[in-house]
């Protein structure tokens, strides 16, 4: 619809022109042309499957993969699924929530230190945050299994200092699962947070302390509000995959720690109960979206992108 | 007095280093196990130092085939997702058109959707469409969840770019294509490269979505998953460590090159 | 200005640009003679940059035409116009070195051997030896000169400069003003210079157009505009003025008589923009002189009595604020040449001026007096 140049607002001289320089008619169809392949891909392989999954969640639960399914609008699938698996549901949000708090406690100082304190080591430290992701997710989680194992050094140490009883263990407990969740998704929290904190003008902090704010007050009144966009994005990027995860529970926990992801996984791949799996998937997704949008509204930043 | 002030200034760095230690702990374990001769098939304890695993990383041909397949899938998915995503980012950053906000939601949603849901829904699509699961369904799935990340990464770079540079190029006799080739593309390229690397790592490491849509095709994460049940060959750790090392070197090299160039450009302190 | 247009003149005809409800440029008619140094002067948001962008082709006019000689370039894409721009923040390509930045336009026009031209241009802007530096390594002044060389090397018919010195500090700006003027004289290309800095416009330009709210208020040589402004806006935007509200009460030979607050003043009709009805009588603060008593006022001078309410010593001059008998204030700048006595706050004095230094402007009925604000810098001393 217009020439490619985007006009930035210069020093107030440029009258507020919402759109780039107008060349009407010149590129009217270009943006649509550019968007078409990607949007079509997303539509075909993301939207359509979701709609189909929605339909599948309303299939007659009596059908099976071999006998075929009938769309009977059985909304009963939802309450039935919820009734059968509400502990796993609750556990998903509970574990992800605790992991989020732990990740914030670790991630915020890390992001802050890299952005504001690391000086010339900034880039190296940033690489160090991303680096663990270069090793396979599964391998890292399996490594935690080794670290937390009953005859590993960590359990031995904790038993020696009596933080764990003589028969106490870490592996196959909720602690291990939460630890795994925290670990696996921590970089997703740190990176956006870092981006936000890096843009933070150090002079603002100096101005704040010049205006009689204690370090704590400066943090609460200046640093934290200004890092909000990164905090919001990071929290979402952490919370969404953590809630839907099932590998940590599978590898580090026992069926007692199973989250909703494990149930959905087995519904699709083991029990082959598609209607129930679909209903659970949708419940999970709508629960997450509800949390996300509620959170976004409160955080006051809608433009996470 | 001095010490407390120093502590006040630096405790954050201390915490940061501890957290980094936490992040690297499992990597250290993986690296250590890559030099281990396990006492038994299901044992993950360090038994005896050996270089055998590194000398002979393809102990099981199954595993190496899986690695190769993952690289192929990652490459294909990266190329397609990077092209589609970059083109979309350009349209979003440079043009005003109807339906922008709807499109933004379409791009945001895959990132806000649990992988599990994407995996299951795609499975439902493929099964009901009678599409045989395998290599190509994995590629399709990977492109789908990579595209959004590419769009976001490239768009950030594009919107951060000074639009006057393009105007200046046009003013200096560069037509639309020349402006794109000589100015826009070189300046956005770092963003595109970053997006491609991100896409590859997402694809290479993906387990959840792949697990639902792979049929009998085995990627590296799938192989690890399967092997975890019956005892992992130590060579898996070799692959993990090697991947880590290669990626780390790659990133450090580009970052050093970048820094050398930036350092050469830094003007003497006023 | 030259009534007949030559082949290289830049002409704007009824040029209009609206952004939604906002009219940035309104019915602009303007001729910039070939080879002149032309300044578009105005406050932020007056439409001067938009005008420039329309000439460059970066903005498409809503109405009107842009002509270069007889050639209509209104719809031409920017890269098809023999017009180049020095951008406000220079817009140097960060990934190209100085040489490649300067060579950019030549290369795009398919010129193979650019080496000689680029080097010659770099030495014109005194940047020899900087070929392989990147923009980030250069100081503000050097970046500015690269931007200038990058545009000039193409020998455009018209060079547009968008606040090119805005990012530089005062001293450097002065030096670059002279340098720009030197270069313009040397290359003989038409320069159209957009600025909000009246001093900059007056130092460099042959012709200044004062723009306000999308229109040109006055156009002419700097001295002409300064000495005889056409509107109250020009009188107060370009330098400072005391404007006294009054009414034309008659004529006397070559003079107009103005009554203000019961006192009659005369102004030569040649210095009047209005010959009847409500008017503003304008006198520049530096054209006013002070005397201790009415008896000391030279014959033929007009005068106003008052008492000094404020006095600022600013080095080259002393600025006084004078409360007149009718209650408004006048600003008076007295050069500290040692020839005049100094006055203290509270003293009664007589301000007087040569009527040939006054000017008369039309006035809206409800318009009141305006006094030049006091400034803590030696205003008027630099030109």
pLDDT of residue A221: 79
- The answer as to whether A18 is a domain residue is no
Asked whether residue C376 carries a pLDDT value surpassing 70, the answer given is: no
- The answer, yes or no, to whether residue C375 has pLDDT greater than 70, is no
pLDDT category at C337 given cuts 50, 70, 90 is: confident
Chain-chain contact of C49 with A12 (C-beta, under 8 angstroms): no
Pair (C211, C262) in one structural domain: no
Q: Are C306 and C288 in contact (CB under 8 A)?
A: no
Contacts of A48 (CB under 8 A, 6+ apart): B125
C191 with C335, same domain: the answer is no
Instruction: Say if residue C153 is in the same domain as residue C271.
Output: no
Any domain includes A186: yes
- Residue A285 in this model has a pLDDT that exceeds 70: yes
Q: Which of C73, C91, C100, C151 to mutate to test the interface with B (most CBs of B within 10 A)?
A: C91
Cα angle A32-A34-A39, degrees, rounded to a multiple of 5: 75
What are the residues facing C67 on neighbouring strands? Answer: C11, C72
Interface of C with B (CB under 8 A): 56-58, 77-79, 83-85, 87-89, 91-95, 104-105, 108-109, 134, 136-139, 150-151, 154
Say whether A12 and C19 touch across the interface (CB within 8 A): no
Q: Residue A232's closest CA among A100, A125, A136?
A: A100
Domain membership of residue A128 (yes or no) is yes
**What DSSP string describes B106-136?**
HHHHHHHS-HHHHHHHHHHHHHHTTPPPSHH
Burial letters for C23-47: b for 16+ Cβ neighbours within 10 Å, e otherwise? bbbbebebbbbbbbbbbbbbeebbb
Closest by CA to A105, choosing from A193, A167, A174, is A193
C254 and C221 belong to one structural domain: no
CA dist., res. A108 & res. A186, Å (int)? 10
- Judge contact between A135 and B31, C-beta under 8 A: no
What's the domain count of chain A?
Answer: 1
CB of C273 closer than 8 Å to CB of C230: yes
- Shortest Cα distance, chain B CAs vs residue A131, angstroms: 6
Per-window interface: B 222-251 vs A, CB < 8 A: 224-225, 228, 232, 236-237, 240-241, 243-244, 246-248, 251
* Chain A residues touching residue B159 (CB < 8 angstroms): 6
- pLDDT tens column, B79-134: 999 999 999 998 888 877 788 888 888 898 888 788 888 998 898 888 888 889 99
Strand partners for A64: A68
Interface test with B, best of A35, A40, A171, A269 (most B CBs within 10 A): A35
**Residue A12 reports pLDDT greater than 50:** no
What digits encode the pLDDT tens for the residues C292-302? 888 888 888 99
Residue A200 in domain? yes
pTM for this structure? Answer: 0.78
Same domain, C336 and C188: no
Question: Both C282 and C348 in a single domain?
Answer: yes
| Contact flag B167-C57 (C-beta cutoff 8 Å) | no
Half-sphere exposure of B118 (CA within 13 A, CB side): 31
With an 8 Å Cβ cutoff, the interface of chain B facing chain C consists of 162, 164-165, 167-175, 178, 182-183, 186-187, 264-267
Q: Is residue C288 part of a domain?
A: yes
Identify the residue among A6, A13, A22, A27 best suited for mutation to test binding to C, counting C beta carbons within 10 A and taking the highest.
A13
**Any idea what the CATH number is for the domain that residue C250 is in?**
2.40.50.100
B186 to chain C: which residues are within 8 Å by CB? 95
Q: What is the pLDDT of residue B43?
A: 64
Output the domain CATH number for residue C44.
Answer: 3.40.50.300
Could you give the CA distance from residue B116 to residue B145 in angstroms, rounded to a whole number? 12
Residues C145 and C254 in one domain: no
**Total of domains in chain C:** 2
Q: C90 in a domain, yes or no? A: yes
Q: B96 vs A109: CB contact, 8 Å cut-off?
A: no
pLDDT band at A7 (very low <50, low <70, confident <90, very high): very low
Judge whether C383 lies within some domain. no
Enclosing domain of residue A294: 74-299
Of C345, C350, C287, nearest to C317 by C-alpha is C287
d(CA C333, CA C39): 27
pLDDT higher than 60, residue B144: yes
pLDDT score of A3: 37
pLDDT for residue A107: 92
Residue C144 in any domain: the answer is yes
3 state SS of C359? strand
Q: Which residue segment(s) compose the domain that C28 sits in?
A: 10-227
Region C353-379 average pLDDT: 75
Split at pLDDT 50, 70, 90, the class of C115 is very high
Q: Which CATH number fits domain B60-210: 1.10.540.10, 3.40.50.300, 1.10.3720.10, 1.10.1300.10?
A: 1.10.3720.10
For every residue of C320-358, which 3-state class applies, written as one string? Answer: EEEEECCCCEEEEEEECCCCCCCCCCCCEEEEEECHHHC
Do residues C290 and C354 both lie within one domain?
yes
Query: For residue A128, which residues of chain B lie inside 8 Å, CB to CB?
Result: 20, 23-24
Cβ-defined contacts of B178-185 (< 8 Å, 24+): B178/C79, B178/C108, B179/A4, B180/A4, B182/C104, B182/C108, B183/C93, B184/A4
Query: Is 50 exceeded by the pLDDT of residue C216?
Result: yes
pLDDT digits (tens, 9 = 90+) for B222-264: 998 888 877 778 888 888 898 888 888 887 787 777 666 554 4
In a domain, A195, yes or no: yes
Between B120 and A134, the more confident residue is B120
Q: Which of A4, A5, A11, A15 would you mutate first to test chain C, the one with the most C CBs within 10 A?
A: A15
Residue A20 CA from chain centroid, whole number? 35
| % pLDDT > 90, chain C | 48
Question: Is C379 a domain residue?
Answer: no
Q: Domain for residue C370, yes or no? A: no
Q: C4 in a domain, yes or no?
A: no
What mean pLDDT is predicted for residues C40-54? 89
Q: Which of A117-121, B39-43, C360-364 has the lowest mean pLDDT?
A: B39-43
Question: Is residue A25 situated within a structural domain?
Answer: no
Cβ separation B171–C78 shorter than 8 A: yes
The span from the CA of A302 to the CA of A305, in Å, is 8
C74 vs C14: CA distance, rounded Å: 12
C340 in the same domain as C302: yes
Classified as helix, coil or strand, B85 is helix
User: Tens digit of pLDDT for each residue in C267-301?
Assistant: 998 999 988 889 999 999 999 999 988 888 888 89
Using only the alpha carbons of chain A, give its radius of gyration: 24
- Distance of alpha carbon A132 from alpha carbon C47, whole angstroms: 54
């Amino acid at each position: 619809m217009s020439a490619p140049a985007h006009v930035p607002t210069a020093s107030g001289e440029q009258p507020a022109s919402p759109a780039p320089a107008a060349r009407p008619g010149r590129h009217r169809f270009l943006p649509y042309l550019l968007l078409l392949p990607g949007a079509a891909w997303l539509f075909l392989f993301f939207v359509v499957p979701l709609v189909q999954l929605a339909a599948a969640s309303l299939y007659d639960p009596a059908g099976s993969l071999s006998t075929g399914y009938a769309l009977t609008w059985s909304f009963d699938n939802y309450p039935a699924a919820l009734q059968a698996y509400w502990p796993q549901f609750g556990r998903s949000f509970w574990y992800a929530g605790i992991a989020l708090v732990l990740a914030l406690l670790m991630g915020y100082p890390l992001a802050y230190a890299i952005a504001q304190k690391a000086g010339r080591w900034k880039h190296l430290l940033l690489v160090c945050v991303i680096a663990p992701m270069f090793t396979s997710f599964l391998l890292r989680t399996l490594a935690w299994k080794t670290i937390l194992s009953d005859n590993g050094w960590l359990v031995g140490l904790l038993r020696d200092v009596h933080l764990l009883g003589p028969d106490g263990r870490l592996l196959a407990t909720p602690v291990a699962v939460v630890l795994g969740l925290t670990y696996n998704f921590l970089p997703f929290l740190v990176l956006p947070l870092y981006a936000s904190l890096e843009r933070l003008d150090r002079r603002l902090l100096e101005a704040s302390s010049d205006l009689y704010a204690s370090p704590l007050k400066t943090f609460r009144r200046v640093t934290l509000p200004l890092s909000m966009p990164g905090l919001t994005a990071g929290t979402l990027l952490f919370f969404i995959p953590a809630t839907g995860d099932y590998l940590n529970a599978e590898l580090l926990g026992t069926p007692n720690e199973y989250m909703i992801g494990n149930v959905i996984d087995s519904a699709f791949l083991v029990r082959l109960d598609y209607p129930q799996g679909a209903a659970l998937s949708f419940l999970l997704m709508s629960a997450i979206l509800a949390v996300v949008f509620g959170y976004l509204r409160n955080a006051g930043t809608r433009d996470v992108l | 007095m001095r010490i407390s002030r120093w502590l006040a200034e630096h405790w954050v760095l201390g915490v940061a280093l501890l957290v980094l230690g936490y992040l690297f702990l499992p990597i250290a374990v993986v690296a250590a196990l890559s030099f281990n001769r396990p006492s038994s098939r299901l044992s993950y304890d360090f038994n005896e130092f050996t270089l055998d695993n590194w000398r002979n990383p393809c102990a099981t041909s199954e595993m190496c085939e899986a690695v190769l397949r993952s690289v192929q899938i990652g490459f294909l998915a990266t190329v397609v997702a990077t092209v589609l995503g970059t083109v979309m980012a350009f349209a979003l950053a440079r043009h005003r058109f109807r339906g922008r906000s709807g499109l933004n939601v379409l791009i945001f949603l895959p990132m806000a959707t649990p992988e599990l849901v994407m995996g299951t829904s795609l499975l439902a699509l493929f099964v009901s469409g009678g599409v045989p699961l395998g290599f190509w369904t994995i590629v399709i799935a990977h492109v789908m969840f990579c595209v959004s990340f590419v769009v976001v990464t490239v768009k950030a770079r594009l919107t951060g770019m000074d639009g006057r540079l393009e105007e200046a190029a046009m003013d200096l006799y560069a037509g639309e294509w020349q402006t794109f080739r000589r100015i826009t593309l070189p300046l956005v390229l770092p963003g595109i490269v970053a997006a491609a690397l991100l896409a590859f790592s997402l694809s290479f490491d993906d387990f959840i979505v792949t697990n639902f849509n792979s049929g009998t095709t085995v990627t590296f994460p799938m192989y690890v998953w399967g092997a975890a049940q019956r005892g992992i060959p130590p060579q898996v750790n070799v692959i993990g460590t090697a991947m880590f090392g290669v990626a780390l070197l790659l990133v450090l090299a580009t970052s050093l090159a970048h820094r050398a160039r930036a350092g050469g450009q830094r003007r003497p302190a006023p | 200005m030259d009534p007949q247009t030559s082949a290289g003149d830049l002409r704007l005809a009824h040029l209009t640009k609206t952004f939604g409800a906002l009219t940035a440029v309104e019915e602009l008619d303007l001729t910039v003679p070939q080879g002149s140094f032309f300044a578009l002067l105005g406050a932020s948001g007056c439409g001067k940059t938009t005008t420039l962008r329309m000439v460059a082709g970066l903005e498409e006019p809503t109405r009107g035409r842009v002509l270069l000689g007889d050639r209509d370039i209104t719809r031409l894409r920017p890269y098809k116009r023999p017009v180049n721009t020095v951008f406000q923040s220079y817009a140097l390509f960060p990934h190209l070195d100085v040489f490649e930045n300067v060579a950019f336009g030549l290369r795009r026009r398919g010129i193979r051997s650019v080496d000689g031209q680029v080097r010659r241009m770099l030495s014109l802007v005194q940047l020899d030896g900087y070929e392989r530096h990147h923009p980030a390594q250069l100081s503000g002044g050097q970046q500015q000169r690269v931007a200038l060389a990058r545009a000039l090397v193409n020998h455009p018919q018209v060079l547009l400069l968008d606040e090119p010195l805005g990012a530089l500090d005062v001293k450097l700006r002065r030096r670059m003003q002279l340098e720009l003027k030197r270069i313009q004289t040397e290359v003989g290309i038409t320069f159209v210079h957009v600025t909000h800095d009246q001093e900059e416009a007056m130092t460099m330009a042959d012709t200044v157009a004062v723009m306000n709210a999308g229109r040109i208020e006055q156009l002419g040589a700097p001295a002409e505009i300064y000495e005889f402004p056409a509107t109250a806006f020009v009188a107060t935007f370009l330098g400072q003025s005391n404007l006294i509200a009054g009414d034309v009460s008659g004529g006397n030979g070559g003079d107009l008589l103005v009554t203000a607050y019961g006192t009659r003043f005369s102004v030569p009709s040649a210095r009047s923009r209005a010959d009847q009805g409500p008017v503003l009588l304008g006198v520049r603060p530096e054209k006013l002189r002070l005397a201790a008593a009415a008896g000391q006022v030279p014959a033929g001078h007009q005068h106003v009595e008052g008492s000094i309410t404020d006095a600022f010593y600013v080095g080259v001059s002393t600025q006084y604020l004078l409360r007149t008998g009718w209650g408004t204030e006048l600003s008076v700048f007295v050069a500290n040449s040692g020839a005049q006595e100094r006055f203290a706050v509270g003293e009664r004095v007589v301000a007087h001026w040569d009527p040939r230094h006054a000017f008369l402007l039309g006035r809206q009925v409800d318009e009141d007096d305006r006094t030049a604000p006091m400034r803590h810098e030696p205003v008027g001393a630099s030109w």
